[in-house]
Structure 1
Amino acid sequence: MNGILNVLKPAGMTSFDVIGCMRKITGQKKIGHAGTLDPSAVGVLPLCIGNATKALEFMIDKDKVYRAELTLGISTDTQDSSGIVLDSFPVEVNDDEIKKTIMSFVGAIQQLPPMYSAIKIGGKKLYELARQGQTIEREARTIEIYNIDLIRIWDDCVTFETEGVAKEFTVKKVLFDVHCSKGTYIRTLCNDIGEKLGCGGHMSFLVRKRAGQYDLDNALTIEEVVHLSETKSLEGYLLPVEKIFEEYDSINLNKEELFKYNNGVWLEVGRNKYKKTFYRVYDNNNFLGLGEVFEKGNTFYLKSKKFFK
C-alpha cells in the first residue's frame, strides 16, 4: 500500500494518534503525516503511506489554510482554550480597530514559537519543559501570512476554571480564515493579535481547511477509512505520490537514459528545452521520482533528487 491518504483529523486526537490508528487499520507500519495539528484542532491531515513517506519533506513545505476563532479578552499559557488563564482584560477596542490590527499581520512577520509546541531545543520538546513549569529562550522565525479573510466579530461570554472555580468572562470573538506558510502557529497569531490590541487573546477553535493541494472536500473521516478497509476498497482512495509534484513539468526517459539515471549518472540535457529546476521523471509514463536540472561547466545535467520506485 503506497500513496497519500487525506484524513480528516477529529478533535481529541493527536496527529500521532491518527497515525497509530491508521497503522492498525491498514497493517502498514510506514506512515507519516505532513504537518502536526494540535489535539483540539480538526481538519486536513495528509498521510503518506509506504514509499510515499519519502515525500514528507516536500509536503511539509507546502502552504496551509485555516479557519480560526480568536477570543479577545483572555490570554492563556497554551495560547488556546485548553490552557490556564494568565490574564483577563475588558475588550475596549471597536470592530474597526480589531480589523486593522488583524490585517497588520499580513505579510512576512517574525513569530516566536510557543512553549507548548513540539519543537526540540537541547534534545527536549518545548511542551515537555513547559509542563515542568520552565520557560526558555526561543528564536523568532520568519513566517508569512499571505492573506486573512475576516468573517465575523461578535460579543460573547465564556467560562474558564480558575483556581478550581468556574468564572464567566465577557469577551469578543473573531472568526477568520488565514492562508499562511509552513511553520505558522495560529495559536501564536491569535495571542499576538490580542497583545497588540492590549486586551489579550487566545485561539478558541481551529480547522485546517487545506494543506498544500489537499482540502476538506476530499478528506476521509476515520470511520470512512475503517469502512473502506473492511470492504477492501481503501487503496482506491490513495492518491499517487506524483500528485505532490504536479506543479512541475515532466521528462520521459528512453531505455538508455533510464539505465544511466537509475544508476546515478548525470544525464546531459539541453538548457533550451529544460529551463526549470525540478521535473517529474517518468519511464514510459511510470513515475520514477523528482529530478533536478543543474549547470556545471556550462553544461546542463539532469540528476535524481528523490527516487520513488
Structure 2
Amino acid sequence: MGKLTGILVLNKPKGMTSHDCVLAVRKLAKTKKVGHTGTLDPEVTGVLPICLGRATKIAQFLTEKEKEYIAEVKLGYATTTEDHTGDVIEEKPVDHPPTEQAVLEALSQFMGEIEQTPPMYSAVKVKGKRLYEWAREGIEIERPSRRVVIHRLKLVRYDPVLPYPTITFKVLCSKGTYVRTLGVDIGRTLGFPAHLSSLVRTRSGPFTLAQCVTFDEIKTWSPAEWVEQLLPMDAALTNYPKVELDWDKIKRVKHGQAIRVSQRLEEDELYRVYDPYGQFTALCCGQRSSVLKPVKVFET
C-alpha cells in the first residue's frame, strides 16, 4: 500500500479502547505508523481522529483541541467508575423528580472555567501509576484537581421518569474535561447521586460525527481507496492562519531556520506554512518583528 499519510476520522465503536482502534487500523491499512489523538473510554462512541504516517506529527495539536459530546446522565445512583459499568456505591431512588427549570439552573452553574477532580477510574498518573491501577487494587488515592473550561452546555432532553430520571445534554469543553465527572456533579447539584449512562463524542477539533467512517466501511477499502479517503494532515489545523512562502524561505524553514516575512504576525500564534505549489510544509510560530520560527516541519 506504500507509505500512507493523512487522517482517518473514525466513528469509534463501543467496547474498543482507543489503542484497540489504532491496532485495527494499523492492520487494515498495512502500515506501522499510526496514532490516535485523545483517549476515549471503551464504552464511549464517536469521533476518534487517527493519524497515519507523517500525520502522526500533528497528533499533539489535535489532542489540544476542544471536544463536543452528547451525554446522558441517570439520577438515582452513583457508581465506582462514574458510568454504568461500575458497581453501585450510593443509591437514592427519585420519588419527586426535579423540574426542567431546576435542571436548566443546575447546568448553568457549570458554564465557564470549573474545577474537576479526576475520577479514580481514569488514566491520570499519580505517584507513578495510573489512577485506574490504584482503583483496581482497591486503593483510593488523593487526586490533584484541574481547571477545565465548559464553553457550551445545553439541555437536549429531560425525561423525569421515576425512579431514575435521565438528563441528556450537549457539552463543548476543553481538553482534559471528564464528562463523567461533570454528569455526577450535575446530579449532586440537583441533590441526587448520579452516573453517566451514555456518552458520544460528536466533535474533536474541526472533525465531526458526519465526517466519520466505520470499521465496516474501511474493511472494504482497496489500497487506492485508502490513499483517496484519508484527509490531508492540514485538515486538522484549519484554525491556524495560512502563510505562503517563496522557495528560498521554504528551503530555510525546512532546515529549521527562522525567517522574516512581510506580513504582520501575531506573537506566539501558530501558522500553517505552504510552498509555492500549495504543499503544506510546516507549522511555524509567530515571533516579534514578523519572524516565523519552525515548530514542526512536514516536508523535507
Contact preservation (8 Å) 1:34, 1:59: yes
Contact preservation (8 Å) 1:274, 1:293: no
Which of 149, 156, 181 does residue 154 from structure 2 map onto?
A: 149
The reply on whether 1:41 has 2:31 as its aligned counterpart is no
The 5 Å alignment of 1:182-261 reads 182-228=175-221, 230=222, 232-261=224-253
Which of 45, 60, 63 does residue 63 from structure 2 map onto?
A: 60
Matched residue SS, 2:220: helix
Contact preservation (8 Å) 1:116, 1:130: yes
Which of 254, 271, 296 does residue 262 from structure 1 map onto?
A: 254
Distance 1:231 1:294, change over 3 A: closer
Give RMSD over aligned pairs. Answer: 1.4
Matched residue SS, 1:115: coil
The reply on whether 1:109 has 2:101 as its aligned counterpart is no
- In structure 1, C-alpha distance between the alignment counterparts of 2:18 and 2:141, rounded to whole Å: 25
Contact preservation (8 Å) 2:234, 2:280: yes
1:115 to partner: Cα distance = 0.8
- In structure 2, C-alpha distance between the alignment counterparts of 1:28 and 1:58, rounded to whole Å: 22
Which of 18, 21, 37 does residue 18 from structure 1 map onto?
A: 21
Which of 2, 5, 17 does residue 2 from structure 1 map onto?
A: 5
The reply on whether 1:274 has 2:277 as its aligned counterpart is no
1:274 to partner: Cα distance = 2.4
Contact preservation (8 Å) 2:265, 2:290: no
Q: Which amino acid aligns with 2:235?
A: K
- In structure 1, C-alpha distance between the alignment counterparts of 2:54 and 2:291, rounded to whole Å: 26
1:231 to partner: Cα distance = 6.3
Contact preservation (8 Å) 1:242, 1:289: no
- Give unpaired runs (5+ residues) of structure 1: 158-169
TM-score (norm 1): 0.90
**Cα deviations by residue, 1:161-200 (Å, 9 ceiling, x for unpaired):** xxxxxxxxx2111111111111111100011112222211
Q: Which amino acid aligns with 1:224?
A: E
Contact preservation (8 Å) 2:265, 2:287: no
Identity fraction in percent: 40
After superposing the two structures, state which structure 1 stretch, 24-33 or 274-283, moved more.
Answer: 274-283
1:260 to partner: Cα distance = 2.0
Q: How many residues align?
A: 291
- In structure 2, C-alpha distance between the alignment counterparts of 1:56 and 1:216, rounded to whole Å: 18
- In structure 2, C-alpha distance between the alignment counterparts of 1:289 and 1:264, rounded to whole Å: 10
Runs of 4 or more, structure 1, over 3 Å off, are none
**Cα deviations by residue, 1:211-263 (Å, 9 ceiling, x for unpaired):** 111111110001101111x4641221111111122222222222322222222
Q: Which has the higher strand share?
A: 1
1:122 to partner: Cα distance = 2.2
Q: Which amino acid aligns with 1:262?
A: K
The reply on whether 1:28 has 2:31 as its aligned counterpart is yes
The 5 Å alignment of 1:26-175 reads 26-91=29-94, 92=96, 93-156=98-161, 170-175=163-168
TM-score (norm 2): 0.93
Contact preservation (8 Å) 1:62, 1:182: yes
- In structure 2, C-alpha distance between the alignment counterparts of 1:308 and 1:259, rounded to whole Å: 12
Q: Which amino acid aligns with 1:42?
A: T
The reply on whether 1:283 has 2:275 as its aligned counterpart is yes
- Give unpaired runs (5+ residues) of structure 2: none
**Cα deviations by residue, 1:89-148 (Å, 9 ceiling, x for unpaired):** 133433322221122111110011111011112221111111111111111111111111
Distance 1:235 1:127, change over 3 A: same
- In structure 1, C-alpha distance between the alignment counterparts of 2:161 and 2:132, rounded to whole Å: 30
- The match for 2:171 is 178
